[in-house]
Amino acid sequence: RGTGCTYSACLTAELAQGQTLSSALEKTIRYLAVALESAAMWSLGAGRGTIHHSVGRPPLFSNIP
């Protein structure tokens, strides 16, 4: 459901921003935990759910009146 791809993408992004491996792993694991927890309450179609990739981000277009 995307957890492996999300894990590697998040870890790579953190490392590219100059984080240490330890810090990048910590942030990645924390993000995935929150995204998976949030996905349990998020409905998207039928069947098994997916990871909630946009958890913690402001709604799109939230600054448009």
Q: What pLDDT score was predicted for residue 25?
A: 95
- Is the CB of residue 50 less than 8 Å from the CB of residue 2? yes
String of DSSP letters for 7-47:
HHHHHHHHHHTT--HHHHHHHHHHHHHHHHHHHTT---SSS
Measured distance CA(35)–CA(54) in Å, rounded: 8
| pTM reported for the whole predicted model | 0.70
> What does each of the 65 residues of the chain score in pLDDT, given as a tens digit?
578 888 999 899 999 999 999 999 999 999 888 888 877 776 666 666 677 777 776 665 556 55
CA angle 52, 57, 60 (to 5 degrees): 100
